[in-house]
């Protein structure tokens, strides 16, 4: 759901974070829905950091499970900061215990010592509230929670929400994303497209899509014709980046593409 929710992560223009808020509702089968809200929209930089946290959470050396009962110390603090409500009070969460530098390296920052950018993204993600209604149950929580001790400035202790925890543990529907590809991507548009297409195209498979659909993944708002043409050009450039990763991109008629994803290594 974090991958498919339209507009959760989007291209951010200059000044947009001061001007706009995050307000995304994703509805799916059977009357289920998930709502994301926050004081600022989320961009490709925030997506990149969240992908890194999820990747670290899948490595045993950097993660631990905090159950609803008997959480103590830092785990208890993180669970409280996650602000679980309703059904979420009874759900497990994964905690990532690492460092800002390790996270910056995981997501391919050229200078892993540039931790201020990573820290700002983590804090922006913490400000996002999530409310889900799935199979008749309502849950509420923050997208993630972050706790840093005063004595370890580079230390990073992050709790991931129950939905992300459920996916990382291999339960239910989840998306596999190759972090080697993530580290090789350069442009924000390519990052946003890559995440959305990973959720839509299985490894070793291909699907057909219109250029305007790809534009809407990155720029979910309505725009004038002139701006739309510029956005189409930016998306085409992003597709070139994905070709360099080994994806197959074939425009078999004007504005209509068949996109093939490389097979995933096990």
Average pLDDT over residues 232-241: 97
Domains of the chain: 16-168 (no CATH), 179-260 (1.10.10)
Quick one: pLDDT at residue 70? 54
C-alpha pair distances (Å), 245 with each of 45, 180, 217, 228: 19, 9, 20, 26
Distances 51 to 87, 110, 125, 149, 257 between C-alpha atoms, Å:
25, 17, 12, 23, 26
Element (H, E) at 138: strand 137-142
Residue showing tokens 């002139």: 226
This prediction has a pTM of 0.92
Whether 224 shows a pLDDT value over 50: the answer reads yes
pLDDT band at 226 (very low <50, low <70, confident <90, very high): confident
Instruction: Kindly state the average pLDDT of the residues 217-231.
Output: 84
Q: What is the pLDDT of residue 266?
A: 63
Q: Which long-range contacts (CB under 8 A, 24 or more apart) does 90-93 make?
A: 91/139, 91/162, 91/165, 91/166, 92/65, 92/66, 92/67, 92/68, 92/162, 92/165, 93/65, 93/66, 93/159, 93/160, 93/161, 93/162, 93/165
| pLDDT tens by residue, 111-122 | 877 788 898 999
């Amino acid at each position: 759901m974090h991958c498919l929710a339209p507009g959760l992560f989007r291209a951010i223009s200059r000044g947009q974070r001061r001007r706009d808020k995050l307000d995304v509702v994703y509805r799916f089968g059977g009357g289920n829905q998930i709502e994301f809200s926050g004081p600022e929209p989320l961009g490709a930089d925030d997506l990149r950091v969240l992908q890194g946290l999820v990747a670290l959470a899948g490595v045993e050396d950097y993660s631990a499970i905090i159950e609803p009962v008997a959480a103590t110390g830092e785990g208890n603090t993180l669970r409280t900061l996650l602000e679980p409500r309703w059904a979420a009070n009874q759900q497990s969460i994964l905690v990532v215990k690492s460092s800002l530098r390790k996270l910056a390296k995981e997501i391919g920052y050229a200078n892993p010592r540039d931790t201020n950018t990573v820290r700002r993204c983590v804090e922006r993600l913490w400000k996002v509230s999530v409310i889900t209604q799935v199979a008749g149950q309502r849950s509420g929580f923050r997208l993630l929670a972050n706790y840093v001790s005063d004595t370890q400035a580079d230390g990073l202790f992050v709790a991931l929400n129950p939905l992300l925890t459920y996916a990382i543990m291999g339960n239910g529907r989840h998306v596999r994303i190759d972090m080697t590809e993530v580290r090789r991507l350069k442009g924000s548009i390519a990052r946003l497209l890559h995440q959305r297409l990973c959720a839509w195209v299985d490894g070793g498979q291909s699907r057909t899509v219109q250029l305007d659909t790809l534009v809407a993944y990155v720029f979910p708002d309505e725009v004038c014709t002139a701006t739309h043409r510029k956005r189409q050009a930016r998306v085409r450039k992003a597709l070139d980046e994905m070709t360099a990763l080994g994806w197959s991109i074939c425009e078999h008629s004007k504005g209509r593409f068949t996109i093939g994803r490389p097979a995933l290594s096990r």
